[in-house]
Amino acid sequence: MYRQKDKQKQRMTVAAAAAFLLPLTAACGSERADGGSTSADAGKTPVTGVRWKVDSVTVDGTTHRAPERAHLRIDAGGRAEGSLGCNRFTARAAVDGGHLRLSDATATEMACDDIPLAVEEALSRTLTAGPLTTGADGDRLTLTTPGGDTVRLSRQREAPLYGTKWTVTEPGGGSGRAHLTFDDAKNSVSGHLGCNSARAEATVRDGHITLGAPVTTRMMCEDSLMDTEKRLLKLFEAPLSYRIDQQTLTLTSENGQTVRAVADR
């Protein structure tokens, strides 16, 4: 009984943290539309096009170590996405000179027993307290609020195709239910498609993956999960091209269907 109340309190607290990621009233700075990276200082470390792992957040002089899964990625088209550790978020991103502003942000509202809620809340608040001053130095990035609070990040290296748990973000809205893992020794792929578990042969060669007919469980789930699963099952119908960009895997079918997943090792 008391445990159930604690869980309810957890969910409410996470929802409160996510509330800090509501749309902000802010004017966006300039963005490059040519697909190139924008940097805080021309010729130095780019801020966009990099998956940054959040290392820590410092608020009111107190430094909190960030959850292992916390990260931020900003593309050159003005979109940011990432994780507070438990909850995923997306936002508009404006990089203007040495400043970054995140606005119109939304987040999931999950509760995770292993993620400190106070740290998620502090990170959420700090990221949306812009304009943030960016300080990029090699593989390190520091975001500083007008009040002096900071988020420290480091560049994440490219994840290997094999042995990585790839959590599907598109399709499925980043619910975290669907994931795939490729096994080099067994020439196979296994995982979860949203509702059912699946396993199939997988041949990887020259930037392409050919999947065999999947063996799956036979459960029925809510419509949104079944819809994601149906779309993922189409991946097994024809060869796929694949690309890994740091911690993001993109699978593209011959008819142009795209599936994106992030590394969660």
CA distances from 247 to 28, 109, 200 (A): 27, 23, 23
| pLDDT confidence bin for 6, thresholds 50/70/90 | very low
| pLDDT confidence bin for 215, thresholds 50/70/90 | very high
Percent of the chain scored above 70 by pLDDT?
81
**pLDDT of 222 above 80:** yes
Cα of first residue to Cα of last residue in the chain, in angstroms, is 34
CATH class of 166-263: mainly beta
Between 116 and 168, the higher pLDDT residue: 168
Instruction: Tell me if domain 2-155 and domain 166-263 are identical in fold.
Output: yes
- How many Å apart are CA 57 and CA 76, to the nearest integer? 24
Q: Which CATH architecture has domain 2-155?
A: Beta Barrel (2.40)
Helices (H), 66-111: none
Would you kindly state where each structural domain of the chain is located, as residue ranges? 2-155, 166-263
Asked if 212 and 204 count as a contact pair (C-beta separation under 8 A), the reply is: no
Give strand ranges (E) for the chain: 51-59, 62-65, 71-74, 79-83, 88-96, 99-107, 132-137, 140-144, 150-155, 166-170, 178-183, 188-193, 197-205, 208-211, 215-216, 240-245, 248-253, 258-263
Token couple for 80: 């940011």
Query: Which whole number is the average pLDDT over 73-77?
Result: 88
Query: Which whole number is the average pLDDT over 137-146?
Result: 92
| pLDDT confidence bin for 102, thresholds 50/70/90 | very high
